[in-house]
Amino acid sequence: MIEIAPGKKHPQDKIIFVNGHQITFEELAWVLVTFCHNEEVIYPKPRYQGADYFKRFLNECMDNLDVSQEIMDKYKLPKKIHGLPIKKIKN
């Protein structure tokens, strides 16, 4: 479960929890690096694009601050979650 709670650094600050654990930038980076390694294994270059495809997808999502249906369609990914898979915690 992904949960978002208000942070303390700014009125709009958010803290992200995964299964009750506050995730750090380092932990998130390791998750993404692991995805990239996996893409390199299952879609090896030069026949496929390896992690480059995944990184382009992530960059587009970050540039748009969204995981839109349009982006999902562009990268031929099924949209399994409609809306945010997030439970907001109120203080």
How many structural domains comprise the chain? 1
CA distance 69 to 67: 7
Which structural domain, as residue segments, surrounds residue 13?
2-88
CA distance 11 to 25: 20
Cβ count near 50 (within 10 Å) = 18
Q: H helices of the chain, where?
A: 25-42, 51-64, 69-74
Q: Please report the pLDDT score of residue 83 as a whole number.
A: 61
Q: Please report the pLDDT score of residue 80 as a whole number.
A: 72
Give the tokens for residue 62.
């970050």
Q: Please report the pLDDT score of residue 14 as a whole number.
A: 92
The set of residues, in sequence order, having a beta carbon less than 8 Å from that of 71 and lying 6+ positions away, is 57, 60, 61, 64
Considering all CA atoms of the chain, what is the largest pairwise distance in Å, rounded to the nearest integer?
51
CA 80 to chain centre: 14
Q: What is the pLDDT along the chain (91 residues), one digit of tens a residue?
A: 888 899 999 999 999 999 999 999 999 999 999 999 999 999 999 999 999 999 999 999 999 999 898 999 999 988 776 665 556 666 5
Q: Please report the pLDDT score of residue 2 as a whole number.
A: 84
pTM of the model: 0.79
